[in-house]
Amino acid sequence: MLIAIPGVLNPAEVSELRRALDAADWQDGRKTAGSQSYDVKRNHQLDPDSRTALELGQFILDRLAGNALFMSAALPHRILPPMFNRYAQEETFGIHVDNAIRSVPLTGERLRTDLSMTLFLSEPEEYDGGELVIEDQFGAQQVKLPAGHMVLYPSTSLHQVTPVTRGARVSSFFWLQSMVRSDERRTILFDLDQSIQSLSARNGANSPEAVRLTGIYHNLIRMWAEI
């Protein structure tokens, strides 16, 4: 399931993050590349252990914790601290797949990457190129969202960032381990949850139909969750 999460950050929050990021020191992005992606990665990243990265990452996680659409789609169990990258003239990240297991930088805790996230911090008109291209069952999907919006997609997907030909593309990227490993099951649960929300808005959360479907939803979580 590929889904856009709008308004993770509002314009004022995006401006606050960009001021900090524009003043930060950036390093060669290949420092965090795996063996397969090293040769196709050309960008710059913030040191994930830096104070700026840790503070801004926590800011993003705090906003996501209150985002109902994100929680419904991701069912997060553990989330890696957000990282930050910048693509300028002719920088790109060729087609690759994310590592299946990643470690939290400061603790060494390992988690399975079920879902990948990109939170856009540049407006589309600030740069040319730089589309996130994600391969799914419907073909190649090009994603270029407004600043403050985020895309969530399975980490099993082949994906790439096309070359930036003008301006700079700044974003945050990170991964999570979901309570539900299967993308197909997460999709079923998401569709069911969204249907419950719509039904509750029309008929009330305590209507017999909403209560019955809510019970089915939670029973499926009990069957499929890994915690």
Structure token digits, residue 19 = 């001021």
| Phi then psi dihedrals of residue 131, to 5 deg | -70, 140
Tell me, yes or no, whether 115 and 69 share the same domain: yes
Tell me, yes or no, whether 111 and 172 share the same domain: yes
Overall pTM > 0.85: yes
Is 183 known to sit in a ligand binding site?
Answer: no
How far, in Å, CA of 216 to CA of 150, rounded?
A: 29
Q: How far is CA 79 from CA 59, 92, 113, 131, in A?
A: 13, 25, 9, 24
Instruction: Report the CATH number that the domain containing residue 212 is assigned in CATH.
Output: 4.10.860
**Any bridge partners for residue 6, and if so which?**
none
CB atoms within 10 A of CB 201: 10
Structure token digits, residue 78 = 């553990």
Radius of gyration of the chain (CA): 18
Name the stretches of the chain with pLDDT < 50: none
Is 98 known to sit in a ligand binding site?
Answer: yes
Instruction: Report the CATH number that the domain containing residue 39 is assigned in CATH.
Output: 2.60.120.620
Tell me, yes or no, whether 134 and 195 share the same domain: no
Tell me, yes or no, whether 171 and 99 share the same domain: yes
Tell me, yes or no, whether 93 and 203 share the same domain: no
Task: Please write the tens of the pLDDT for every residue from 176-207.
Answer: 999 999 999 999 999 999 999 999 999 999 99
Task: Please write the tens of the pLDDT for every residue from 4-38.
Answer: 999 999 999 999 999 999 999 999 888 776 666 77
Is 77 known to sit in a ligand binding site?
Answer: no
How far, in Å, CA of 154 to CA of 116, rounded?
A: 6
Is 96 known to sit in a ligand binding site?
Answer: yes
Pair 144, 130: CB distance under 8 Å? yes
Domain of 205 in residue numbering reads as 183-224
